[in-house]
Amino acid sequence: MAEVWLGVTSSGSTGHPKLVWRRWSELKAAARRSDSVREWRWASPFDAWSFAGVQVALQAWINGGRAVSLRGDWPECWRTLTTERPDALSATPTFLDLLLQNEPAARVGWSPRQVTLGGEPLRAGLGHRLRVRWPDARFTAIYAAAEFGVLLKTQRVDGWYETASLAARWAGWRVQDGVLEVNENGTWRSTGDCVEVRGDLLRVLGRASEVANVAGTKVSLSQVSLLAEEVEGVARAVAVAEPNPVTGQVVALRYAPVLGADATVVQERLESRLRQALPKPAWPRRWVVAELGPDQNAKRGLR
């Protein structure tokens, strides 16, 4: 029988979604049958034709369950969760962060058994907030790409993955100039992800393409964003490059304070922290307080 191919899109959490063709047999093989999740309901905001959306639907289907779509504004999402009471919740870290921030004042009594996070890097602060909100849930963090499938998988929620999860899926892996590469059938392929390795742990910092050139110095915008999101009072941050007649480019930081935080105080903390941790070319020269709208479930919402 002829091989069946399916066109799926990337999540697009750090850029524009890309169409990638994957073998149906490979996509289906990633789903696992398990009596522990039989007939579960899986809630997710992922588009049905995206790589993540297909994975959620397959996991539900192969175990006799069904997928529940989380669409619309935040009140509508919470109504769906309260009505459907899904067993599992799968979304990007940013979506879950905003979901918690927009929970009704009368706290919802529903709690998932499983929370799966994927589509973008997970920050330790959010992982902690999720564990506090749903202490009885099992958490799984996945870093995957439509081109590669699952790259990393862990039960940790501090943003770090065990390097053993890479070794279990690939013939080899290495970090070249700060970028993760995996060996596929004897060929080294770049994932395009900037990573940091500490012993047997690895965390994803962002895309290698997110680089600014400030007066001849290369600046990792992902690193600036990562450090900014670790500052108290910051709900979301993204560093961008802006043209400058003197230096060619400068770094600007767009950030959203957590609900109730004083934006002035948050900016003071950001300036202090980033100037201590970053070389001078990476210091943001412009600060923009941004609002996260109800449909902004990924980092591109601040761009």
Q: Looking at the domain that runs over 5-159, which CATH code has it been given?
A: 3.40.50.980
**Tokens standing for residue 197:** 């390795």
Q: Which CATH superfamily hosts domain 211-302?
A: ANL, C-terminal domain (3.30.300.30)
Amino acid at position 244, single letter: N
Q: Is the pLDDT at 209 greater than 90, yes or no?
A: no
Instruction: Yes or no: say if 151 and 164 are a contact pair by the CB < 8 Å rule.
Output: no
> In the chain, what are the domain boundaries?
5-159, 170-207, 211-302
Confidence of residue 297 (pLDDT cuts 50, 70, 90): very low
Overall residue count recorded for the chain in this entry: 303
pLDDT of residue 85: 96
Q: Is the pLDDT at 83 greater than 90, yes or no?
A: yes
Phi-psi region for residue 67, left (φ > 0), alpha (ψ -120 to 50) or beta? Answer: beta
Q: Which long-range contacts (CB under 8 A, 24 or more apart) does 20-28 make?
A: 20/51, 20/146, 20/147, 22/51, 22/146, 22/149, 26/149, 27/54, 27/55, 27/58, 28/58, 28/62
Phi-psi region for residue 12, left (φ > 0), alpha (ψ -120 to 50) or beta? Answer: left
Lowest mean pLDDT among 26-30, 120-124, 183-187: 26-30
DSSP structure class, residue 50: B
Residue 9 has φ and ψ, to the nearest 5°, of -105, 155
Lowest mean pLDDT among 35-39, 81-85, 110-114, 296-300: 296-300
- Sequence-distant (≥ 6) Cβ neighbours of residue 20 within 8 angstroms: 7, 8, 9, 10, 51, 146, 147
**Tokens standing for residue 78:** 């919470």
pLDDT in tens, 51-65: 888 889 999 999 999
pLDDT of residue 1: 59
Q: Which long-range contacts (CB under 8 A, 24 or more apart) does 231-235 make?
A: 231/266, 231/269, 231/270, 231/273, 232/266, 232/269, 233/257, 233/258, 233/261, 233/262, 233/265, 233/266, 233/269, 234/258, 234/266, 234/270, 235/97, 235/101, 235/259, 235/292
Residue 284: CA count within 13 A, CB half-sphere:
25
**Tokens standing for residue 196:** 């940091």
